Structure 1
């Protein structure tokens, strides 16, 4: 994994992914979009202004542990305030996270990732301007939180993960979690060099 760098002349953030890596990113972000939109999927054919002014969002925390981690309670000691805050904000937050993940997918596909990966040795070059890079960064954070929640990753548990045999699916999923974290770090570093 080479990760992200800043192009000296254009100032754009660039990375090259193998076809496998790009397809893995597409899969992870696709699963995130599905999770975010599955619970809140509604057909909204109202007037756009009416939809914008609709604050009838969810008031209870999500049951799915990943969604609960992505949308924590804003007021831990005040259930009523937390419920009202969630009602006014969670829908837009979900849409923003789903859009960020969709942007990653769209960018990879625009860079040449085919709908079904069939080619060995395929390389995908991605160039991002600063706003696009920030969107990718937000999406990486959401993917990492989702993976950490599903895996049960906790602070200072590295010894546990290193003790698992390589063929253990949990170890493989943890490797993906670490890989996304490494990409996130290189993206932060590339952005800081702007």
Structure 2
């Protein structure tokens, strides 16, 4: 992965870089997996009679059981103190907000991953992104990092390395590569030199 180069054109900024074939294949695999996970979550939502009448989509009211999906679709509200009415109030609020907003959040995440796939050179090589494509890449790569970081147990401050014989050592390298890819693209979007 080369650094991103911002080029201002009459039609708006463009963001240029290049990927090796294995990097493109890795991004394709990760984005496809992300779409599959999100599709599965969305299709598990119970049928809602009100949705059929009003056309308003609703989603799952219960949080995901899988740690990775919990990280991608966290609760909307976390009480900083104990609520006088008990924890049921916070759970009820989260259930209502999740049911109302989760379908749109999942749609946005899927759309970002699909936009990444549409602009990704399948065999590697040079790429040039419009600004909206670059924003989609940042969102999709962030979701990939969150999912992979959850699997690896990454918390603030590390781990920076795993022993070479650790079964997840290669995954940590991918996580760190995604971090650099995202950071350089965000800096490019901000117009800051790298």
Gaps of 5+ in 1: 43-48, 114-121
User: Matched residue of 1:6: which SS?
Assistant: strand
C-alpha distance in structure 1 between counterparts of 2:14 and 2:101, whole Å: 32
Match of 1:66 in 2: 68
- 1:105 is the counterpart of 2:117: yes
Structure possessing the higher relative contact order (Cα contacts under 8 Å, 6 or more residues apart) = 1
RMSD across aligned positions (CA): 2.2
Gaps of 5+ in 2: 45-50, 80-89
Match of 1:145 in 2: 146
Match of 1:93 in 2: 105
Post-superposition Cα deviations, 1:35-72, rounded to whole Å, max 9, x if no partner, equal 00012227xxxxxx969832431111011111111111
If the length of structure 2 is used for normalisation, what is the TM-score? Answer: 0.82
Q: How does 1:109-120 map to 2 (within 5 A)?
A: 111=121, 113=122
Match of 1:156 in 2: 157
Give the number of aligned pairs: 174
User: Matched residue of 1:15: which SS?
Assistant: strand
Q: For the structure 1 residues 27 and 55, does the alpha-carbon distance in structure 2 shift closer, same or farther, using more than 3 Å as the test?
A: same
Match of 1:30 in 2: 32
Kept after mapping to 1: 8 A contact 2:42/2:59: no
C-alpha distance in structure 1 between counterparts of 2:103 and 2:30, whole Å: 21
Post-superposition Cα deviations, 1:64-120, rounded to whole Å, max 9, x if no partner, equal 111111111112231111110001000111111011111111111xx4x2xxxxxxx
Q: For the structure 1 residues 123 and 97, does the alpha-carbon distance in structure 2 shift closer, same or farther, using more than 3 Å as the test?
A: closer
C-alpha distance in structure 1 between counterparts of 2:127 and 2:167, whole Å: 29
Match of 1:5 in 2: 5
Match of 2:17 in 1: 15
If the length of structure 1 is used for normalisation, what is the TM-score? Answer: 0.82
Match of 1:46 in 2: none
| Residue 4 of structure 1, CA deviation | 1.6
Q: For the structure 1 residues 163 and 40, does the alpha-carbon distance in structure 2 shift closer, same or farther, using more than 3 Å as the test?
A: closer
